[in-house]
Amino acid sequence: MSDRVIRITAQESALVDTSAVVGLQQSVGTLRCQEMVEDAIYQITERLAKLERAEREQDYETASEIAHVLVELTNRIGLPRMSVVATDLADVLRLGDTIAISAICARLIRLGEDSLFTLVRLGGDGV
């Protein structure tokens, strides 16, 4: 029997890619950028709560769908570390490794909270 090994990238880069947020602000304007950031914060928060529930209930199909949406959302709004961890989660969900799923979900939720608080503080400084 051979076990599959997935390499999980543990990076310690910035929580928020400010250049992505500044680029968004320059392309759509300050007010629209703030609206988009606020909307993304809401969507990510909602999905993290649903992910936590799906993992607790072992609803891995829903968790996988949420992980893929989180990859898209976090890439769009400049949260690279969250995107990497959401990708790691999608990978282990595909393999069905319940221990890794629980660990990575917990990490994604903690990182999500930290990232969103950082994004809110950044937004409070005029994005």
What pLDDT is stored for residue 60 in this prediction?
96
The predicted-structure confidence for 61-107, as pLDDT tens digits, reads as follows 999 999 999 999 999 888 999 999 999 999 999 999 999 999 999 99
Question: In the numeric block, which tokens belong to residue 121?
Answer: 């503080």
pLDDT band at 33, cuts 50/70/90? confident
What's the CA gap between 57 and 96, in Å, rounded?
14
Mean pLDDT of 10-15: 56
pLDDT for the residue 5: 63
Token pair recorded at residue 2 = 């051979």
Architecture of the domain whose range is 29-124: Up-down Bundle (1.20)
**Domain boundary assignment for the chain:** 29-124
Contact 63, 93 (CB under 8 A): yes
Task: List Cβ neighbours of 114 (8 Å cut-off, separation of 6 or more).
Answer: 15
Please report which confidence band the pLDDT of residue 127 belongs to, taking 50, 70 and 90 as the band edges.
Answer: low
Residue 94: CB atoms within 10 A of its CB come to: 12
Q: Which of 13, 11, 69 is nearest to 40 (CA)?
A: 69
CA torsion through residues 55, 60, 65, 70, sign: positive
Q: Please state, as a whole number, how many other Cβ atoms lie within 10 Å of the Cβ of residue 40.
A: 19
Query: So what's the pLDDT on residue 14?
Result: 58
Q: What pLDDT was estimated at residue 12?
A: 47
**Higher pLDDT pick, 10 / 16:** 16
